[in-house]
Structures are given as structure tokens and as C-alpha cells.
Amino acid sequence: MTLEQILIPQVIKAVKELFAADITCAQVQLQKTVKNFQGDITLVVFPFVKSARKSPDETARITGEWLVANVPLVRAFNAVKGFLNLEIEDKYFVDELQAFAQNGVESELRGGSSSTADSCAVKTTVIEYSSPNTNKPLHLGHIRNNLLGWSVSEIVKAAGKNVVKVNLVNDRGIHICKSMLAWQKWGSGETPESSGIKGDHLVGKYYVVFNQKLSEQIKEAASAGTPEDEAERNAPLMKEAREMLLKWEQGDTETIALWKRMNEWVYAGFDETYRKLGVDFDKIYYESETYLLGKEIVRKGLEQGVLYKREDGSVWADLRDEGLDEKLLLRKDGTSVYMTQDLGTALLRHDEWKADELVYVVGNEQNYHFDVLKRVLRKLGYKWAEKITHLSYGMVELPNGKMKSREGTVVDADDLIAAMTGTARETTEALGKAAADETLYRAIALGALKYFILKVDPVKNMLFNPEESIDFNGNTGPFIQYTHARICSLLRKAEEAGTDNLSDNAAGEMNISEKEKLLASLLLLYPQAVAQAAEQFSPALIANTIYEIAKEFNGFYQETPVLKEENHTLKHFRLTICVKTRDVLKHGLSLLGIVAPERM
């Protein structure tokens, strides 16, 4: 049992007996004791000071005395201005760690924390991530999306929920027609095979060409006195692109054939990048298939009088009574917009998976869009709109500024992975930490990339610096990978020496050091960290938890003999700490999609 599970009922009992007051579980606030204060866990007494009718210090002192007298695992206490720091008996950490080691990480996650058990009420969570456009290759921004979505899916799954990982490919719309039109005009029949260019890169090349040619037309019109927005709207290329979109929605054979051909190039390119990143999906949806359902939902909304049609034929949702504005759902020419297809996709997904939660991993520039989506669905009578959660994340920037797809200045995902692998090779060889092994170099490179991105709270914008990410010291993926490999080396030596048998009960009477106690407590809190990360959809909690564990292990290892310890019971306890640290680091890294090498 966790300290919280043991202490919370006892604190409630103490307050009842000492102060004749009833408090709830929510009023019992336990937290890790702040460094420089003696204690293993701290009780915040302020929530029940009023009931106690005493000062915070006096309330803490009386409560501490009761806990020492009545709870065997509480050894001592000290009170500091309403904070009751509790010292826990060594035997608790020894016994619990031994049980944790015997049960295994997965077993502890299934039943190891109350918050995990509570969250199991949600049966199925559908998580959408990636959602690329088929007019350009995946870039650094997509990398954050994919890594965040995949990791959140694995964390939620580890916390006991049924997870469905889905991808919605934006394979239709005016932006797709831009690449198609540019290739048609200036491609001269170029293909991935004839050019040697990866399919998604080739299509992205023509998206840039379109915008370069469009820019020329806009400048020409602007120089003749036409306002820039009007010049763009009436530019010949934009008119052709809109005509192509209309032909596509009308099922024009030639347009559809070109669309299918170029999309196939892109899908092959995407699949290759997904394999490199190590992300996957249970199902892929395509907007070209879901937008029709969205149009049908809009038609029914018109019939019901929930939506309205303007004189020009466009269809709108009026959200002014909810403090927003009017939202376009169908253009005057009958073509759909993003909101239309998202209505169809949401309904399809909810009905198909009987989903208890629909999570969208999409950048924070779409906050307004998902607010509107929920409101429109509610207006249309879909009560399950409340099940929608927008996992909004910040943008990724580089030391030299923002990326711009139209200008071709994005950091391509494939190029970044290749460059990171090269940097990993140079760094590891320079430090003499790894033999020449391309598989290991890729594992280190992706570990660096994934950890650097995922350790940042999703809501925050982040600055990605490739050089900082590949470092065997500090809060990085390679540091944790190297710690894991270091433990594996230690355990191999233990096996060679015949001291690896951990079936012996290490829970005998012993005194353990503060380093051992701190490391043990961090390991025991890991299941709760997973549960909390699942509730908050935050891989950053996992990343920073395993970093703290790796950091404390290295401090423990430098100061504490393991294989040279002569006390048999203590040696086995320390080996148990090593085994459990290895297992937790490996499990935590796996939730981030990072390989845990056994040799480095």
C-alpha cells in the first residue's frame, strides 16, 4: 500500500478523536517533504486548523504525537508552521520495495494506486493524433504531435483504460488542390521514382511552388493598386484552385485520378516516417470519407431549424447567444469546411467505438475551433459532445525562429531524424561510450529527440535545440538510457558473481541510508505518477519522474557499495533497488517510446 493509502484514513481518525471533527479525504493533503527538512512525507494541517480551534503549530504537534503513538510506520515528526513532516520506519520502504519487485511494474499499475482504480470508470478513450495534410511532409511540429499523442495513448493504456489510437488524414480541401494544381502546371510528369524524391517531399515541393507563383501574381496585382487581400482572392491561381476543389467535390474523374495518385505518394512517405518515429495507429480516418457525413449532419440541422442558410446559399451556426460569433459550415458553392468534416468524424468515431472519451491532440492555435465544435454538436442535440477533450499543446520553435510551410522553411522530420542520428554517433564515439552500432546510435538519437520534446509540459511552447538534447549528463534521454545500461552492467556482474538471486527475502531488520530511502520512495511512487500522467494527459510527468529516479540512482550508486557489501541482507536489498530502478526506468522510457539499451 502507498503511504497515502495508509495515512489518509489514520489522519481522518486522528482529527475525529483529537478535535471531535469530521474531515474528508480531500482535506487530507500529503506531499513530498521539502528538501532541507527532515521527513519522508508532509501533512498540511491548515485544512483542519479551524476545526481543531488551535494554532497551526499546535494542531501539527498534537496530530504528530497521535500518529507516532497509533501508527506503527510513523517513527517521528517535526512541525514547521502548519506543515507536519513525518519520518517513516525503514521497514516500510524495505517491505514495500520487496513486494514491488516481486509483483512487477505492470501488476502494481493495475492495482497499485487508488487514482488508477478510480480512472478505470472510463471504458474506452479514443485518441486522435498526427492529422497531417497530404500537401507536405511531416515536420518538427508534427513530431511533437505524434510523440505526444502516441505517448499519451500508452500512458492512458498503462493506467488501465481501453485506448484506440486514431489518425485523421486531411486529404481534401483547397490546400491539397494547391499542390495538385502546381504539379499539373509545372511538374512535367515528375514522380518519386523518376526524381528519387520521397513522395511526401515531392508533393510538398509543389505546395511551395504554388505559393511562390501565387506570391508573384499578388505582387503584380498589388503594384497596379489592388489591395493585397483582394489580389490574393482574385489571383488566377487561387481561382483555378477553387475550381479544382469544386470539381473534386463533384466527382470529376480526371481530378479524382490526380488526387489519388499524388496522395498515394504522400501515404508511402508518411508510413516511412511513422516507422522511423516508432508511432502507430489502430485506425486511420480520411476527411475525404467523413466530410459527407458532416454535410448530412448540417442538412439535418437545417431541417430542424438549428442552423440557417444565408441568401448566398452558405450555411451557418449562430453561436452569438453563447458569447461567440456565427460559424460557417458550408460555403455558398456547397463545399465543406474543416468544421463540417469534424462534425462527421466526431459522430462516426463516437458511434463506432462507443467512446467514453474523445481526445484530440491538436495545437493550441485550434483552441477556438474545438470550442466551437463542442458547441455546435450540443446545439445539434448530441449530448456526448461533453466527452470531447482538446489536448492543446504549444508550438515548437527553433533557435533561429518559427517554421513556415508555405516558404519551405520547415524542419523536415526525416532530415531531423537523420541529423540527430549523426550527432548521436559523433557524441557517443567522442565520449567512448558506445561501440560502432547504427542501431544503438538511432536508439540514442530518438531517445534524445523524444525525451527533449516530451519532458516539456504539453501546454507550453518549447524551443528545440538538437545539441542540448544529446547529452549524457542532465535532464536528457541519453542520460536515462545510460543509467539503465549502467544498471544492466551491474546486474550482469552480480549474476557472474552468483549474487543475483533475489528470491531471498530482503525484508529483514536493517537500517537503510537516506539515499536508499529516497530512491525507494521514488520507485514506490511511480505507479501514482503514471496514474496522474494519465489523468492529466502529460508525458512530462513520466519524463521528469524517471529523470529524478535516474539522478537519485546515480547518487546512490556513487556513495553506496552494492556487490562489495558484506551484509547479505543489505546486499540483496540494494540489488533489489537496482533491479527495481532498472525495471521502472525501462517501463517509463517505453511509455515515452524510447528504447532502453542494455549496453552503451
For residues 83 and 220, state if they share a domain.
no
User: How many alpha carbons fall within 13 Å on the CB side of residue 3?
Assistant: 30
CA dihedral sign of residues 267, 404, 191, 261? positive
- The domain that contains 480 carries what CATH number? 1.10.730.10
Q: Is residue 129 assigned to a domain?
A: no
First-to-last alpha carbon distance for the chain, in angstroms, is 36
Q: How far is CA 275 from CA 401, 537, 563, 593, in A?
A: 28, 23, 41, 12
Helix (H) or strand (E) holding 287: helix 287-303
Query: What range defines the domain where residue 32 resides?
Result: 3-88
pLDDT value for 26: 85
DSSP symbol at 412: B
Give CA–CA dist 385/380, Å, rounded: 10
For residues 449 and 587, state if they share a domain.
yes
The residue type at 118: D
Domain boundary among 260, 278, 296: 278
Neighbouring CB atoms inside 10 A of 525's CB total 19
Predicted structure pTM score: 0.86
Domain count, the chain: 3
Give CA–CA dist 229/279, Å, rounded: 40
Q: What are phi and psi of 38, to 5 degrees?
A: -80, 130
Domain boundary among 70, 88, 106: 88
Give CA–CA dist 372/326, Å, rounded: 10
pLDDT value for 117: 40
Q: Are 112 and 93 in contact (CB under 8 A)?
A: no
For residues 454 and 580, state if they share a domain.
yes
The residue type at 581: T
Q: Is 434 left (phi over 0), alpha (psi -120 to 50) or beta?
A: beta
**Coil, helix or strand at residue 336:** strand
Give CA–CA dist 208/255, Å, rounded: 20
The residue type at 49: V
C-alpha cell at 216: 508573384
- The domain that contains 31 carries what CATH number? 3.30.1360.70
Q: Are 526 and 103 in contact (CB under 8 A)?
A: no
DSSP symbol at 330: E
Give CA–CA dist 241/238, Å, rounded: 5
Query: How is 453-510 classified by DSSP, letter by letter?
Result: HHTS-TTS-EE--HHHHS-SSSSSHHHHHHHHHHHHHHHHHHHHTT---TTS---SS-
User: How many alpha carbons fall within 13 Å on the CB side of residue 418?
Assistant: 8
Q: Are 115 and 539 in contact (CB under 8 A)?
A: no
User: Beta 388-393 vs 29-32: how paired, if at all?
Assistant: unpaired
Burial of 302 (0-12, 13-18, 19+ CB in 10 A): middle
The residue type at 69: A
pLDDT value for 433: 58
Q: Is residue 461 assigned to a domain?
A: yes
pLDDT value for 507: 47
For residues 184 and 60, state if they share a domain.
no
pLDDT value for 112: 46
Q: Is residue 13 assigned to a domain?
A: yes
For residues 178 and 84, state if they share a domain.
no
Q: Give me the residue label for grid cell 459550415.
A: 329
C-alpha cell at 54: 488551535
pLDDT by 10-residue block (mean), the chain, 600 residues = 87 94 90 86 92 92 96 94 92 85 74 44 86 92 95 95 96 94 97 96 96 95 92 94 93 96 97 96 94 94 95 96 94 89 94 94 95 96 96 84 47 88 84 71 94 94 84 91 95 85 52 88 90 95 97 93 88 92 97 94
pLDDT value for 97: 85
CA triplet 149, 154, 160: central angle to 5 degrees? 130
Question: How many residues does this entry show for the chain?
Answer: 600
pLDDT value for 410: 65
C-alpha cell at 296: 448530412
Domain boundary among 278, 297, 329: 278
For residues 450 and 569, state if they share a domain.
yes
